Structure 1
Amino acid sequence: MSIKFYPLVFEPILQDRIWGGTKLKTDLGKNIPTQTTGESWELSAVSGNVSVVREGEYAGKPLTYLLEQFPTEVLGTKVHEQFGAQFPLLFKFLDAREDLSIQVHPNDELAKQRHNSFGKTEMWYVMQADPGSRIIVGFKEKSSPEEYLEKLESKKLIDILNQVEAKKGDVYFLETGTIHAIGAGIVIAEIQQTSDITYRIYDWDRVDANGKGRELHVEQALDAMNYNTTDTKKEYNKDENKSNTMVDCPYFTTNFLPLNGFTEISKNGNSFTVYICTDGEYSIEADNVTYTFKKGDTVLIPAGLTTYSLTGTATLLEIYIS
């Protein structure tokens, strides 16, 4: 049995969140089920939230089926060697109508030990930001567990955290251990390791309709946190019809590809490639078939599809594993 290689799009997995809103519908065309839809999981192999192919020969098939049947052809020779038949990344859009909780993610070692999971290194690309919106990322100055706990207890944690104004096109790379929060009024494209492990530290004293607050993980966060200052914001080039490096780390490489016209792509089969369209419209031509995509579409190119072309006027994020 051999796979028919074509660009794969998956049904979004829409997640209701206490801080969510309606921009996933108004900005990205997602068919949201509630007025507080905070996340669209675009490409996921997280247990209980596995993506399903939207159209084409494999319509209705879960990503895990493709990985079981065609691991090398989908993942790539190098990625398959490293991860087996696991899909190592998770792709999301987030709409923060309100501030997200202040949180931290554990590294691979801690996540494996405590949760039998990958850690959660991630990056954010700001797709839209209301005037005055901000991102919380890292400490203002070197901190310590003692200072962190004291400020948390006195409800002054925000005083020692680094707050930066959010602007469209900003990129933040968050290594594990970086304390962070997405602020209200921001839509983000998020690329991360396949993990759903979050240590929630402070949730702005929010309660749900039953007057209950969400669970906090203050103690677990203590030894997961990096108390040093971090340099998280990434500058990058924006040369047209070229892959401009934004983030290059052991877990993923993300490029900025401003498409204006036509470009041919040639890959070596080592890794799958994912395109996230953050603006505009474009088409992929592969094996003499044209597939059309728009803002809000996330496309998985199986590693076995090594030559194809991109045409259109669009802003793309291009992701693979080096």
Structure 2
Amino acid sequence: MTKPYPLKCKPEFKERVWGGRALEQFGLELPEGHIGEGWMIGDHPNGTTQVENGELAGLGLDQIREQYGSELFGSKGFSKKTGRFPLLIKLLDCQDDLSVQVHPNDHYDRLPQGELGKTEMWYILDAKPGAKIIYGLKDGVDREQLAAAIAENRIMDALNEITVQAGDSFYIPAGTVHALGAGVLVAEIQQNSDSTYRLYDYDRLGLDGQPRELHIEDSLNVIAYEGSGATYMKTDLDGPATWLTLANSDFFITEKGRVEGEWKLQTVPDSFVIHIIADGEGTIRWADGELPVRSGECFLLPANLGSYELTGSMTVLRSYLP
């Protein structure tokens, strides 16, 4: 590779029993079915995205990692546990409620071989009036009380529900019980993991017509009953060209900013930068070129890109490694 440039990947789409067709509004060509997830940037055995622009077009993110290593991803740009790209970037279309679930941390001894734990965050791109999510346990609920509520089919009595709006942001450390509700469209930034333990699924059948598997014992083992450090916030911005921190974890930092006109920025050698265009349109300019960008698109900016500029009128999420 001669010169670095912003990488755009071809999404990997996942059919889900709770999915729909809303990702088409971003100009994405969906396969048939109920598409719940677009894996926009990923390097995981269950979904590895391929670059679709520029010199590296046709290469998977795993191949780029193997060929160009820290040159593009930065000195921190690999999972210490798996050696893979450390993050997974998704867009989620929730036409129905997701299962009530929880994710383990990296140290859980029953994780599948080569898998990471899963700390993540959600940014609500759109929400129908009255749409809700489940976010944590009610105060004082311990393992024994939760196990009893599950056994007596009254788990919803133990869970917090929150009504959401576009622009809300939720940080979801491993150990947080959570579930997206029907009627939300979400950008998700997470550890590069596909580890999910289901506590409850509304007695729903899967795409194969069979009841979906629950993982009660694992879930009860990994829940952070004393609090996981989960936080949520409204994300109104004071003005353009400033970053508002949405999540600051050991695994990623995510910020929100507004572009109005031109905004000069810079990458640093220790980490790539990911930009998700939450709304609006504009361009990314760098020393050797310019790319048009629009809502729903995600870009991986190499650590060695250096100076670049965002232009236009758009809201942008920026994620990088701490």
**Common fold by TM > 0.5:** yes
Quote how far apart the aligned CAs of 1:289 are.
1.2
- The residue that corresponds to 1:201 in the other structure is 199
Q: Is the 8 A contact 1:91 1:190 kept in 2?
A: yes
**Structure-1 separation of matches of 2:31 and 2:179:** 25
- The residue that corresponds to 1:292 in the other structure is 292
Aligned-partner residue type, residue 234 of structure 1:
M
- 1:78 equivalent in alignment to 2:76: yes
- 1:128 equivalent in alignment to 2:126: yes
Quote how far apart the aligned CAs of 1:276 are.
0.2
Question: Could you say if the C-alpha distance between residues 133 and 10 of structure 1 is closer, same or farther in structure 2, counting changes exceeding 3 Å?
Answer: same
Quote how far apart the aligned CAs of 1:116 are.
3.1
Aligned residues: 320
Quote how far apart the aligned CAs of 1:228 are.
3.0
Deviates more, 1:237-246 or 1:149-158: 237-246
- The residue that corresponds to 2:253 in the other structure is 253
Quote how far apart the aligned CAs of 1:114 are.
4.5
Q: Percent identity?
A: 36
Q: Is the 8 A contact 1:112 1:118 kept in 2?
A: no
Deviates more, 1:116-125 or 1:242-251: 242-251
* Aligned ranges 1:98-247 → 2 under 5 Å: 98-110=96-108, 114-208=112-206, 211-229=209-227, 231-236=230-235, 238=237, 239-247=239-247
Deviates more, 1:296-305 or 1:80-89: 80-89
Q: Is the 8 A contact 1:105 1:177 kept in 2?
A: yes
Q: Is the 8 A contact 2:82 2:114 kept in 1?
A: no
Aligned-partner residue type, residue 264 of structure 1:
K
Question: Could you say if the C-alpha distance between residues 84 and 47 of structure 1 is closer, same or farther in structure 2, counting changes exceeding 3 Å?
Answer: closer
Gapped regions of structure 1 (runs ≥ 5): none
Aligned-partner residue type, residue 315 of structure 1:
T
Aligned-partner residue type, residue 175 of structure 1:
P
SS of the aligned residue for 1:110 comes to coil
Quote how far apart the aligned CAs of 1:207 are.
1.2
- The residue that corresponds to 2:92 in the other structure is 94
Quote how far apart the aligned CAs of 1:237 are.
5.7
SS of the aligned residue for 1:159 comes to helix
- The residue that corresponds to 1:20 in the other structure is 19
Deviates more, 1:184-193 or 1:41-50: 41-50
Q: Is the 8 A contact 2:168 2:235 kept in 1?
A: no
Question: Could you say if the C-alpha distance between residues 112 and 159 of structure 1 is closer, same or farther in structure 2, counting changes exceeding 3 Å?
Answer: closer
Aligned-partner residue type, residue 90 of structure 1:
L
Quote how far apart the aligned CAs of 1:111 are.
6.0
**Structure-2 separation of matches of 1:43 and 1:241:** 25
- The residue that corresponds to 1:6 in the other structure is 5
Return the TM-score normalized by structure 2.
0.94
SS of the aligned residue for 1:227 comes to coil
Quote how far apart the aligned CAs of 1:70 are.
0.9
Quote how far apart the aligned CAs of 1:41 are.
0.2
1:158-178 superposed Cα distances (whole Å, 9 cap, x missing partner) = 111000001100000001010
**Structure-2 separation of matches of 1:151 and 1:175:** 23
- The residue that corresponds to 1:266 in the other structure is 266
Quote how far apart the aligned CAs of 1:34 are.
2.4
Quote how far apart the aligned CAs of 1:84 are.
8.0
Q: Is the 8 A contact 1:282 1:292 kept in 2?
A: yes
**Structure-2 separation of matches of 1:298 and 1:55:** 12
Q: Is the 8 A contact 1:67 1:85 kept in 2?
A: no
Quote how far apart the aligned CAs of 1:225 are.
0.7
**Structure-2 separation of matches of 1:129 and 1:123:** 16
**Structure-1 separation of matches of 2:79 and 2:128:** 43
Deviates more, 1:53-62 or 1:188-197: 53-62
- The residue that corresponds to 2:67 in the other structure is 69
**Structure-1 separation of matches of 2:110 and 2:266:** 36
**Structure-2 separation of matches of 1:123 and 1:192:** 6
Runs of 4+ with >6 A deviation = none
